[in-house]
């Protein structure tokens, strides 16, 4: 198993701790006036989703997580679960709503996503940063509400609700940032 020295720790690195894979969310180097330098890190458990804080002294080593990232295609929903296919091996994976998280709001048929596998079992899926969605339902725009910062909730084709400016109408396409869930712009067909 590969290991990382504490000097190699950085945000986004995946490490193994107590038998579980963790993602380094934050890592700070601390050099006290007296004593040995330390690395204070915040870690997110990739299976449970919990966050912990851990401190390592400089010179220590941590184990690399046995995770692989693959490109997968969203196929369909089967009951509560979501079915994805590996674009290289054509192997299908079924993920629970907990594993998919808020990504369900942006999943469209045949969408290409990144999936993280731990011991060849899927644990999370990530959608592209920006997606184009069609507005299925929204309240009609009031006349004159074009320049103000007024927003309204709209229902998109995936079933999710997104806050958009008051001037958008049913049937229009909008670009949404999947990381924040925020409206970016209208898209012309």
Q: Give the global pTM.
A: 0.73
Token pair 């184009």 is found at 132
Give the range with max mean pLDDT: 8-12, 39-43, 140-144.
39-43
DSSP H or E stretch at residue 142: none
Q: Where are the alpha helices (DSSP H) in the chain?
A: 97-100
The hierarchical CATH code for the domain 130-187 is 2.40.50.140
Q: Which fold has domain 67-126?
A: OB fold (Dihydrolipoamide Acetyltransferase, E2P) (2.40.50)
Question: Closest Cα partner for 152 from 161, 94, 144?
Answer: 161
Q: Distance between CA 27 and CA 137 in Å, rounded?
A: 43
Burial of 45 from C-beta contacts in 10 A (0-12 / 13-18 / 19+): middle
Q: Which fold has domain 3-64?
A: SH3 type barrels. (2.30.30)
pLDDT digits (tens, 9 = 90+) for 29-87: 988 888 889 999 999 888 888 899 999 998 899 998 888 889 999 999 999 999 999 99
């Amino acid at each position: 198993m590969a290991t990382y020295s504490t000097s190699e720790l950085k945000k986004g690195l995946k490490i193994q701790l107590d038998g579980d894979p963790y993602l380094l969310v934050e890592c700070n180097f601390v050099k006290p006036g007296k004593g040995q330098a330390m690395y204070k890190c915040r870690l997110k458990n990739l299976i449970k989703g919990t966050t912990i804080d851990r401190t390592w002294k400089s010179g220590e080593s941590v184990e690399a997580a046995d995770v692989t990232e693959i490109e997968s295609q969203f196929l369909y929903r089967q009951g509560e679960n979501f079915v994805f296919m590996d674009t290289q091996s054509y192997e299908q994976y079924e993920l629970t709503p907990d594993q998919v998280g808020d990504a369900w709001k942006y999943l469209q048929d045949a969408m290409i996503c990144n999936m993280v596998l731990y011991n060849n079992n899927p644990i999370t899926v990530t959608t592209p940063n920006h997606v184009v969605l069609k507005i299925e339902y929204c309240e009609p725009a009031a006349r004159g509400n074009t320049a103000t910062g007024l927003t309204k909730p709209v229902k998109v084709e995936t079933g999710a609700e997104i806050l958009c400016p008051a001037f958008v109408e049913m049937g229009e396409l909008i670009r949404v940032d999947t990381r924040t869930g925020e409206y970016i712009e209208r898209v012309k067909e």
